[in-house]
Structure 1
């Protein structure tokens, strides 16, 4: 039995998370209009190859392809009654890939936004949101998830509800990250949440690790975000930057930052005190391989103020 996720992070080890699934699914033939989660189960060889590629690249934490696996996200595809089966089966698929890899890898159950607004801005009540997240998380745990990774959140109430749901239905490490955009006085989510407010509320809700992913930020923005989380008292911080800023080329959103360009930001990310580093939109196994090499070749202490080698 390898050491637990929190034990390794708390010891000062910096771990590597995987990268994007969307860009890789497209390479295997997925097209918008289908539920990515259902498509992944209908084309298991593609999903297995994507997971295996990230593991081979050096990822220590690999996420299930279930970002849109909640009932409100699956229902428009006619899959509302398949929430439990889809999430469980995608976790089982990833677990099998990990077992075959021969590496010590943590299986993270991925949870994203519901797409609905919480009251008072919308009709979704907190207890209803918690129930929605509980349904998904319970299925991920049944499939073998060893931690819960809540990501790409913009509404703090929704993010906190997801954390509370995880705490209600399992006793596993909980990672919660939000999507930030640059503003005049720092960074905020689309709903106006600051890194400090996010850290305080998510930790109070029960998160073990907090951080940032996605949004209108890239790797170079992460050190400032990490420092903001640390200043707010976050003991462990995770970041998953995009491969540069999104650019619209024709009708396609493109992220053009190369693996080498992303990896160049790693020393500053480590110096700011990151504990878990992966990739979000536009990243591939090539990006993760470079990030992993930069982390393992540097002074990866995971402590704020640590100087890179």
Structure 2
């Protein structure tokens, strides 16, 4: 068994970390800069990032390597530093984890390439596999315990990352961002995500959702995933409440109390790994740690429960359009009329 499986077996549910980007902006990162360069240029600030999450009780911390693939780094003339920046990012996280005196797992963060796949764009599947493999080499060299592929939208990109992870003898986690009327930008539904598990070259240890729009939208997504596969180990890593535009800033409105409620509801919905994404500070995580430690399993929430306790959906599903697509597909296959599925 992997360290991830061992820790899940021992604790039942795990707390992941919070926001990397928004926390680093508070430390002085400028919009347009590559946060991954700080793994070498500002290592003490990256240690501080991780230390805050460890002190708050995180069982899993993600490396500062979300955009550390050759395609994103070329925007900063750093495409030749992929292995260096990933290894440094994993090593910094491991340094903090090992000093904690308890088991804290290092998840090597792997984000999208930022490129469109053929035929919509120029990136081939083989090129994506090569880019992810290069990043994975650095993360493993730095001591990552998990390969954590996150904020994905396209099925092809998830499959390319899984192909690159094949044979690495390290667990793979994949999370998608369901931010477009209940689906990813490329049209993948949470139910479809759950059904993909057996189609990857390297079977993920866990699937789930991160980022997106609001915490309610993310809870609705993971409820769909756990309904589709109750045995699936599901990750819920929501943004901190509902984002609001205030001038030139995006402000996340979630309080520690709200995020504690979200953690309880995610556990009741069947998630096993809970964390926060954009706007989630160490203070929010401390409240979530308390929620996990005090949690008594309750009834599975309905969508109405989520809306009442966490807030409205920011990007609700377009049920009429989904129903029309299902009806069109059924008629094309010679089938009868099909009803659109309701959430919750």
Aligned to 1:80: 79
Aligned to 1:200: 195
How much has 1:14 moved relative to structure 2?
Answer: 0.4
**Which of 221, 224, 249 pairs up with 1:225?**
221
SS at match of 1:210: strand
Residues 19, 288 of structure 1: 8 Å contact kept: yes
How much has 1:244 moved relative to structure 2?
Answer: 1.6
SS at match of 1:34: coil
The TM-score, its normalising length taken from structure 2, stands at 0.82
What are the Cα deviations for residues 238-275 of structure 1, in whole angstroms up to 9, with x where unaligned? 01000122222111111121111111222221111110
What are the Cα deviations for residues 9-28 of structure 1, in whole angstroms up to 9, with x where unaligned? 35671000000111111121
What are the Cα deviations for residues 83-110 of structure 1, in whole angstroms up to 9, with x where unaligned? 0001001111111111112121001100
What RMSD over aligned residues (CA atoms) do the two structures have, in Å?
2.0
How much has 1:51 moved relative to structure 2?
Answer: 0.2
Distance 2:275 2:263 in 1: 10
Pairing 1:149-298 to 2, within 5 Å after superposition: 149-168=148-167, 170-181=168-179, 183=181, 187-205=182-200, 206-218=203-215, 220-233=216-229, 235-298=232-295
Pairing 1:1-80 to 2, within 5 Å after superposition: 4-9=3-8, 13-80=12-79
Distance 1:241 1:250 in 2: 23
SS at match of 1:141: helix
- Which runs of no fewer than 5 residues in structure 2 stay unpaired? 302-344
Distance 2:219 2:63 in 1: 27
Aligned to 2:319: none
Residues 152, 213 of structure 1: 8 Å contact kept: yes
Number of residue pairs aligned between Structure 1 and Structure 2: 298
Residues 39, 85 of structure 2: 8 Å contact kept: no
Residues 38, 46 of structure 2: 8 Å contact kept: no
What are the Cα deviations for residues 52-111 of structure 1, in whole angstroms up to 9, with x where unaligned? 110010000001000001000111101000000010011111111111121210011000
Distance 2:283 2:206 in 1: 25
SS at match of 1:287: helix
The TM-score, its normalising length taken from structure 1, stands at 0.91
Residues 73, 79 of structure 2: 8 Å contact kept: yes
Distance 1:280 1:258 in 2: 14
User: CA, structure 1 residues 192+10, in 2 after alignment: closer, same or farther (shift >3 Å)?
Assistant: farther
Distance 2:150 2:47 in 1: 22
How much has 1:305 moved relative to structure 2?
Answer: 4.8
- Which runs of no fewer than 5 residues in structure 1 stay unpaired? none
Residues 224, 272 of structure 1: 8 Å contact kept: no
How much has 1:209 moved relative to structure 2?
Answer: 0.3
How much has 1:3 moved relative to structure 2?
Answer: 7.5
SS at match of 1:277: strand
How much has 1:203 moved relative to structure 2?
Answer: 4.2
Question: Of the two, which has the highest radius of gyration?
Answer: 2
Distance 1:224 1:9 in 2: 23
Larger RCO, structure (CA 8 Å, separation 6 or more):
1
> Which ranges of 4 or more aligned residues in structure 1 deviate by more than 4 Å?
none
